[in-house]
Amino acid sequence: MKYSRIVGTGRYLPEKVLTNFDLEKMVDTSDEWIRTRTGVERRHAVADDQTTSDMCVEAAKVAIEDAGIDVTDIDMVLVGTTTPDLIFPNAATLVQHRLGIPPCPAIGMEAACTSFIYALTTADKFIKAGEAKCALVIGAECITKIVDWTDRNTCVLFGDGAGAVIVKPSDEAGILATHLGADGQYKELLYYPVGASKELHKAGTDEAAITMVGNEVFKVAVKTLGNVATEVLHKAGVEQSELDWLIPHQANLRIIQATAKRLNLPMEKVILTVQDHGNTSAASVPMALDVGRRDGRVKPGQLVLMEAFGGGFTWGSVLMRM
């Protein structure tokens, strides 16, 4: 066995849809303002009693069916999220139990919007080391629960959802290379001010909401996403011209367009879902992958580069053969 390989994908979106026209009634904004600056047209939002693990379970069921496996085949669960149900136990343990997966390593990973890429990279290493034979990897967020709905600069961006993949060993080319990174010096540009050991009493109040310096985040994101793509291609010995698809973090259409330009990739080779889902943080990459597979664009044998960038800042990329 030389590779790990994604053999199934799935996604879940909450029923509630918030269009830009809905937001016009909630905050000082307009459909035109949102579309021209972000590319977002609509986003999904969880119900009040719905949790991240609820979405994880539904996305996982679809991926498990797509892979043609049984839950008893799974021997590792990884959930990347910034919005877990509880401080502990981690969301992966909740998903493992609810799906009836036998006792196994169940790991929650938090790297903001890069959480899924971190989790998938971890699964890749475990499988290549022979420590896992079938991993369930999920990226999911209830990000709308930590947004300030009076701040038009942030509330228009985000949505909820979950994306899942099944990863197994393979003798054929699958994941060819991965690259992860982080730099905490940028913390003040994008963060959530409340945590278990810091000002937890503010949770649920007007003082607790995502804080972002949009222009500065844009500058660092575009440069970093270009570099992280180049790095993973170099590791695998692959030329940019060989890429069939770029599946980027669906943060903002302008960031995606600028990143594609740096890679000399036409937008026709980029999977876009930001218009339908908004920025779903850790869920955006696996959901976009599932969309591309199910609408027939992403085909077996094609070369796909997935990448993400999130608060911290964190970043990561995965190059794989489908």
pLDDT tens sequence across 157-207: 999 999 999 999 999 999 999 999 999 999 898 888 888 888 877 777 777
The residues that bridge with 181 in the sheet, in sequence order, are 315
pLDDT given at position 12: 98
How far is Cα 316 from Cα 310, in angstroms, rounded to an integer? 9
Give residue 1's pLDDT. Answer: 64
Q: Is the Cβ–Cβ distance between 211 and 192 less than 8 Å?
A: yes
Confidence at residue 201, expressed as pLDDT on a 0 to 100 scale: 78
pLDDT band at 226 (very low <50, low <70, confident <90, very high): confident
pLDDT for 208 equals 80
pLDDT the model gives residue 166: 98
The structure's pTM equals 0.96
Q: How far out from the chain centre does Cα 46 lie?
A: 17
With beta carbons less than 8 A apart as the criterion, state whether 252 and 38 touch. Answer: yes
DSSP at 268: G
From 142, 249, 252, 277, the catalytic residue: 249
Tokens linked to 32: 């035109």
SS3 12: strand
Class of residue 226 by CB neighbours under 10 A (exposed 0-12, middle 13-18, buried 19+): middle
pLDDT of residue 70: 98
185: Cβ contacts below 8 Å, ≥ 6 apart: none
Is position 249 annotated as part of the catalytic site? Answer: yes
pLDDT band at 238 (very low <50, low <70, confident <90, very high): very high
Per annotation, catalytic residue among 113, 134, 142, 155: 113
3-state secondary structure of 20: helix
Catalytic status, residue 234: no
